[in-house]
Homo-oligomer: A and B are copies of this chain.
Amino acid sequence: MSDPFVVVGADAAGLSAASKFRREAPDRDVVVFEMGRWISYAYCGMPYFIEGRVERMSNLLSLSPSEVDERGIDLRRGHKVVGVDPDAETVAVETTEGDSFEQPYDDLLVATGGRASTGSFDVRGVDGAFTLHNMDAAAAIDAYIAEPDAYDHERADVSAVDRERVERNAAMPAPETAAIVGGGYVGVEMAEALSGRGLDVHLFHRSGHLLSDFGEAVGERVETELDAKGVTVHTNAPVVELVGDDRIEAVVIEGEDPIEADLAVVGVGIRPNTELLDGTGAELGEGGAIRTDEYGRTSLPDVYAAGDCATAIHAVTGEEAWMPLGLTANRAGRAIGATVAGDPSPVGEIAGTAVVKAFDMEAGRVGLVGDEAARDAGFDPVRETVTAGSRSGYYPGAAPTDVTLVADRDTGRLIGGSIVGPDRAAIRIDTLATALEADMTVPEVERLDLAYAPPFSPVWDPILVAAKVLNGTLDGQ
């Protein structure tokens, strides 16, 4: 027990693990290597920073380096871990200053995160074309949108920021039209953000419904909302080319004329950063992520992985899944910190719970919403979508709320669901997430004693209405 707990990556999973470990094992050492300058930022807040709803980039800071220090964590920024020797139990480290050394570990956590995948596009070197995957990109987009003489240089008020990139973008002429490639939740959030900045926004989505993972009912209402707020939504519109030499000029949908854009945000997907374990024999799993067990252990002894680079167990299927989301990373990191400190703690299963805001519309999803995912997991999905009021009909603010529930035909078990509506719809998904994780059947959901009071819910909550209807369908088979 003489060597430290070594953590690679100083973001949600890594710092959660290091913090928990120090609290549980105050006499032992933990070293966190971070290749970059940024640590512990709220990446999910980037669209709201760009929108201007969040005034300063520093508002998105969760933990400062000095706060990490105060926790007794040995944080080394500018330190890239380039190799792992699982037999010797050492990692090879290179610093931005050009030094390199070997660091022995007792336990190792790989929390290297993910990176934006831009598909076949290369946005590097094209002004006005961005991926939104780190704070430097967010700062650059924000600066690029501003009129050169109106940019508030205090916006990106963090020392870690790539100041040169920010100032270069701030000096460029402000864009008027924006193209967002990809209608997942980041795309939808960016559509709201860029609209809020006064841009004429086009959102391009490969398939027929935005937010594919949320199901059709959500996709349709979010599309209607974006449309009502002036965003031009292009569905079944795979973007095949970004046009522009030095600066972005247009995007091209397959088979159509180019559509002008002087800002493009490309977010096709995310890929796990697993290269560090190449050649170590560590197993990879779903999505090419590092395979982990219920305690976050990889196939290598004393090596853990957590966050966007690691797999997890899905609460509905009981199978391995890869779903990079913020809570999962924090929770897994924290559990691994406890386990390494001597208190074995499961990292918890994931239910794929996600929520998104699109202007005045809110949506949530959980579990297996699409038929394909359900069938792949061996279920025979039956679904119903209902529209019900969010409050008693006579109470001001009551709004139509669509609930979709998906059940397995044979067992009646709830396996997924979604909710969409303008009135406090998103947070209601937590009820379904809890029901899913408890392996409830649809009849059990129908009998839940959910809250009723006119300002908050009708007598029959929309979730109960949906369960009632789906139950009827299951009964009537």
Q: CB distance B426 to A428 under 8 Å?
A: no
CA distance A351 to B451 in the complex (A): 10
B-binding segment of A53-61, A96-104, A169-177, A218-226:
A53-61
Q: How far is the CB of A67 from chain B (nearest CB, A)?
A: 14
Contact A433 to B459, CB < 8 A, known contacts A394-B48, A394-B54? no
Contact A449 to B328, CB < 8 A, known contacts A362-B456, A395-B54, A454-B48? yes
A431 at the interface (CB under 8 A from B): yes
CA distance A327 to B430 in the complex (A): 20
Q: How far is the CB of A113 from chain B (nearest CB, A)?
A: 15
Q: How far is the CB of A433 from chain B (nearest CB, A)?
A: 6
A353 at the interface (CB under 8 A from B): yes
Q: How far is the CB of A102 from chain B (nearest CB, A)?
A: 34
Q: Which residues of B contact A433 (CB under 8 A)?
A: 431, 448-451
Q: How far is the CB of A323 from chain B (nearest CB, A)?
A: 9
A326 at the interface (CB under 8 A from B): yes
Closest-by-CB residue of B relative to A440 is B438
Q: 0/1 per residue, A301-329, Cβ < 8 Å to B?
A: 00000000000000100000000011110
A434's partner among B45, B315, B434 (CB-CB below 8 A) is B434
Q: CB distance B348 to A447 under 8 Å?
A: yes
Q: 0/1 per residue, A34-59, Cβ < 8 Å to B?
A: 00000000101100100001100001
Q: How far is the CB of A248 from chain B (nearest CB, A)?
A: 28
Chain A interface residue count, CB cutoff 8 Å, equals: 66
Q: CB distance A350 to B449 under 8 Å?
A: yes
Q: CB distance A449 to B355 under 8 Å?
A: no
Q: Which residues of B contact A53 (CB under 8 A)?
A: 395-396
Q: CB distance A395 to B48 under 8 Å?
A: yes
Contact A452 to B351, CB < 8 A, known contacts A395-B53, A434-B435, A434-B438? no
Q: CB distance B331 to A364 under 8 Å?
A: no
CA distance A451 to B60 in the complex (A): 19
Ranked nearest first, the 4 interchain pairs of A and B with the lowest CB-CB distance are: A438-B438, A348-B447, A351-B449, A59-B394
> 25 interchain pairs (CB within 8 A)?
A42-B454, A44-B452, A45-B394, A45-B454, A48-B394, A48-B395, A59-B393, A326-B459, A330-B460, A349-B447, A349-B449, A353-B451, A355-B451, A355-B457, A362-B455, A362-B456, A426-B451, A426-B453, A426-B455, A427-B457, A428-B430, A430-B448, A431-B434, A433-B448, A437-B449
For this chain, the copies found in one complex come to 2
A435's partner among B354, B392, B438, B460 (CB-CB below 8 A) is B438
CA distance A284 to B450 in the complex (A): 27
A368 at the interface (CB under 8 A from B): no
A114 at the interface (CB under 8 A from B): no
A395's partner among B45, B185, B457, B461 (CB-CB below 8 A) is B45
Closest-by-CB residue of B relative to A447 is B348
Contact A392 to B42, CB < 8 A, known contacts A353-B449, A453-B356? yes
Closest-by-CB residue of B relative to A334 is B468
A381 at the interface (CB under 8 A from B): no
Q: 0/1 per residue, A246-258, Cβ < 8 Å to B?
A: 0000000000000
Closest-by-CB residue of B relative to A61 is B394
Q: How far is the CB of A174 from chain B (nearest CB, A)?
A: 25
Q: CB distance B455 to A357 under 8 Å?
A: yes
Q: Which residues of B contact A59 (CB under 8 A)?
A: 393-394
A148 at the interface (CB under 8 A from B): no
Q: CB distance A315 to B449 under 8 Å?
A: yes
Q: CB distance B44 to A364 under 8 Å?
A: no
A452's partner among B326, B395, B434, B456 (CB-CB below 8 A) is B326
Q: Which residues of B contact A12 (CB under 8 A)?
A: 459
A424 at the interface (CB under 8 A from B): yes
A429 at the interface (CB under 8 A from B): yes
19 further contact pairs, Cβ within 8 A, besides A327-B452, A330-B460: A12-B459, A42-B392, A42-B454, A44-B454, A45-B394, A53-B396, A59-B393, A315-B449, A325-B452, A326-B459, A327-B450, A327-B460, A328-B449, A352-B449, A354-B451, A355-B453, A366-B449, A431-B431, A434-B435
CA distance A351 to B444 in the complex (A): 13
Q: Which residues of B contact A328 (CB under 8 A)?
A: 449
Q: 0/1 per residue, A435-477, Cβ < 8 Å to B?
A: 1011010001001111111111101110110000000000000
